[in-house]
Structure 1
Amino acid sequence: MNTYIPRRLTVAAVVAASALLGTACSAAESATPEASGSTPDVVEKPVSSSTEPETKPERRPYTISFGGDVHFEGVLRSRLNANPKTALGPIAKVLGAADIAMVNLETAITTGGTPAPGKQYTFRAPASALTALKAAGVDVASMANNHGMDYMQSGLADSLAAIKRSRFPVVGIGRNAAEAYKPWRTTVNGNRVAVIGATQVLDAEFIQAWTATDQQGGLASAKNEARLLQEVRKARKNSDTVIVHLHWGTELQKCPNEAQRSLAPKLVAAGADVVVGGHAHILLGSGYLGRGYVNYGMGNFVFYNWGPETGRTGVLTLTINGRRVIKDRWTPATIQGGVPVPVTGVNGQRATANWKALRGCTGLTPTPS
């Protein structure tokens, strides 16, 4: 019979108690911890002498969906003002079905300020734009693009304030370089995911004024390849999946340009598992570069003008486990009234086949190698 004795009893009391109970206690059984005024009189659960090593949660595959360029000009501003929670239309169901969803937010978040001098197209939107993204199932956006600072430093200050108030994650922009290049981090199904945003496209006259430095707020620039690659290597050290979202490409050019073809393998070599982005206003090819996955152009997504080519869009959904991109899936859509509307049936099958064919001029492969 095992007899449990409260900690505060003295050795003499133990002996007396044992005698009264008529129990022959061994020396090991009658030894007790020293009395302590802070130790409660409770019966302690025996502790096993064997200790099992802690096990990390098992990783399981997760999905991340990407949409292309988003702003809220023209007809989209009317939708946003009418109801931010439905501003992105039916494509929200596709975005919301993924574990993570991401888009490129190609606008300054401000209602004031002065537009960039001499710039032909300048985009801005109220803070409700972030509400609209969140309501549509978007989890993170990049503002590292050639419109993120269309309203210069005052617009940047407004954008950063709106982001802070909304608590909506935005990458590629910040009060300094450290903030701009800082990845957004999340854990899903046991996978530690890091997302970095940067732009390879900046108007020559604004490169200096718009690029984040240690002393200046602005955008994360992929033109500073050394800094971007450094951040990818840094993220690689404590992440299971590293994703780089880029603004890159040449407008209306159907194949990746030399700058894209040069940067992509460097990012994969530095530790990026996924490289995805856009700028060209049309779709470009996707596929594997070694074991990394690269998308060269997501096209327009929520956009105020569209045509036969620029209106073709969709959602790219990747299934990932750790560093391995298990599969890609394309949900084709066309822009109608400024928002993407999924294409189904025979037309959807044809659109998906056309999207896969875009890989032909990219040098990418349909499976990892």
Structure 2
Amino acid sequence: MKKYLILLPFMLAGCATILGKRSATEDEQAVILAKRAAEEAELKNAERVLEKGRFKEAQILFKDFYGRHQQSSFYQAARLGEAEALDGMEEYQQAASLYRDVYLRTIQSQPQIAALALYKMSFTYEALGDDEKTIAALLDARKLSEHLPLEVAEAEIPARLAAIYGRQGREQETVDYLGQADKGIAKVLQEQRPQLQPGWLAKTYFQMGLVSTNQISEENFSEFAQGQRWIQVYLFKAMKQNDEIWSLRAQEELQNVYRDLFTLVESSKNRDVQSRLGGDLLDLMDQAELYKPILGQKETTYEKNFFGYLAEVRKKLDNVLYGSGETMSLTEESQRLNSIKRAGRVKPDSLLPEEQKSPIPLPPKVVPEEDPNL
């Protein structure tokens, strides 16, 4: 699920080492550098495939690379890429084991890879429903912040911590970390604007807004929705950037979240529970609508497609709760989601729906056309 080009720090260090070998002739140095350039190009191609969400293909490419280049300085970087591909394929246990092995093997010699392995491991732990390990991985990765890309350390990690604390009802921590995340974006813009690559902001916002629906159940539905109210803004910001890769992925990610939430409401066998879950989902959708560009504001294709999809979900939800019972067709993923009984991560809320009050400050109705940090 994580989408970071991790090769550059190792390429620069490796080239410096090669050039510093006095015993190598110019011809030998040229051969070594050419070999490294070929390896770099091969891994970059695998990472591009990974970024596009073609996880199985990416896994094959990464595994093939380190199988043929076992002495390469990029060996562990390729294993890290394979772990990320496994995560995307929902092979979470395998991914977690591989991330941990990469971390242990690189913490001394390649701390940049070790730090990224810890960070990426947090996504896997979240998908497995272990919030304690997710938080621990994020905090441990933050201790290695000097070895992480600035946007990861200063923006993405705080945003992910805010998402977890938000669904746990820990409002103060959530507000604090969201503030840190926004300051982190401003810091990156201030310090690194000249060398920032196109699409980096959409990519960063996408990472900041990622959540896993893998462990949602009727018992923790309300808590998940509570956390989502805090964090979904980042996927809207990613869509606003109009990037062909990351804005599209943000649109698809948020649509998947709402589809999985709707599927759980639709499949509930208890009418009272269904009404409670449906009310939570309607509240979340109402908040999402506040990010919809109003008449006269520029709307990206990704925003238009998402809000069109949201309108469809709202119609189907209204039918489930109040109408004839017409339902949205389930995807294969949604059917599988509801065929597995999940224990859930958070204890069910003991309050009745009418007693609950959201502490989350809603966004203003008018959304700026451009991100205020820019």
State the TM-score, normalizing by the size of structure 1: 0.29
- Highest RCO, 1 vs 2 (Cα 8 Å, sep ≥ 6): 1
Give the number of the structure whose alpha-carbon radius of gyration is greater: 1
User: Would you tell me which structure has more strand in proportion to its own residues?
Assistant: 1
**More helix by proportion, 1 or 2?**
2
